[in-house]
Amino acid sequence: MKKIGLVGGISWVSTLDYYKLINEGINNKLGGLHFAECLLYSLNFADVQAVSWENAYELLRDACASLQRGNAEAIALCANTAHLFADRLEVELHLPFIHIVTETAKALRHEGHTTIGLLGTKMTMEMPFYRDRLAAFGITVLTPPEQATRDYVQLTVKEELGRGLLKPATKARYIAIAQQLVSSGATAIVLGCTEIPLLISQADFTVPVFDTVKIHSDAIVDYMLS
């Protein structure tokens, strides 16, 4: 089994799901008392917020370097937004990164989706790093067109979901936002923030929903057993 290094704490509530899914995935494949051999570096999310995501490269680099010193054979960043820096980190550290957007794109193409609705942080929805990687797989990305809507998703991810607060009113609003994307032509919804699956899931929609935490965790398990 390969040893994986996980960079979590961004946020801790979704990192819990990663740890659970990866260990369950290993056990499902190997049985018995086999579970994941992994290292976890959990960042203090307040440190990320203090410098802003745009300036968080050094925090992520130091976390990844610590995992590398612990003999991690690959790195997984347990947050979609953190993948803003994934390519740069991979080059600097000379370690493979299991990329959440690449794995999501593979899953989407496997199911035949070429136009999707994306919900995530403002950076994930607005910056090119996510959209361009999906576009390289022939996938068109639709996001909420109104700035106020994207701001709302950002605020609730940070102040509610990232704290483990799940409010019915917020869930209803997220479902409505996603349904608007479906009405605009999306054939699937991508939950492109690791906290969003805490709030909404496939059970809330008739169109396919792609949970990036589950997709990423499955890919991590496959890598560990490769």
For residue 122, what are its two tokens? 């403002």
pLDDT, average across residues 67-84:
97
d(CA 196, CA 222): 24
* β-bridge pairing 4-8 and 38-42: parallel
For residue 226, what are its two tokens? 């490769």
101-211 CATH, one of 3.40.50.10320, 1.10.3720.10, 3.40.50.1860, 3.40.50.720: 3.40.50.1860
pTM for the whole thing?
Answer: 0.95
pLDDT, average across residues 209-213:
98
As a whole number, the mean pLDDT across the chain is 97
pLDDT, average across residues 85-103:
97
* β-bridge pairing 188-191 and 74-77: unpaired
Whether 101-211 and 4-99+214-224 are alike in CATH topology: the answer is yes
pLDDT, average across residues 173-177:
98
Burial state string for 88-123 with b = 16 or more CB within 10 A and e = fewer than 16: ebbeebebebbbbbbbbbebbeeeebeebbbbbbbb
d(CA 188, CA 185): 9
For residue 162, what are its two tokens? 């990232």
| Domain locations along the chain | 4-99+214-224, 101-211
Burial state string for 44-82 with b = 16 or more CB within 10 A and e = fewer than 16: ebeebeeeebeebbebbeebbbebbeeebbbbbbbbbbb
4-99+214-224 CATH, one of 3.90.25.10, 3.40.50.1860, 3.30.1330.40, 3.40.50.300: 3.40.50.1860
Model confidence band, residue 210 (pLDDT cutoffs 50, 70, 90): very high
pLDDT, average across residues 195-214:
97
Question: What is the structure's pLDDT at 174?
Answer: 98
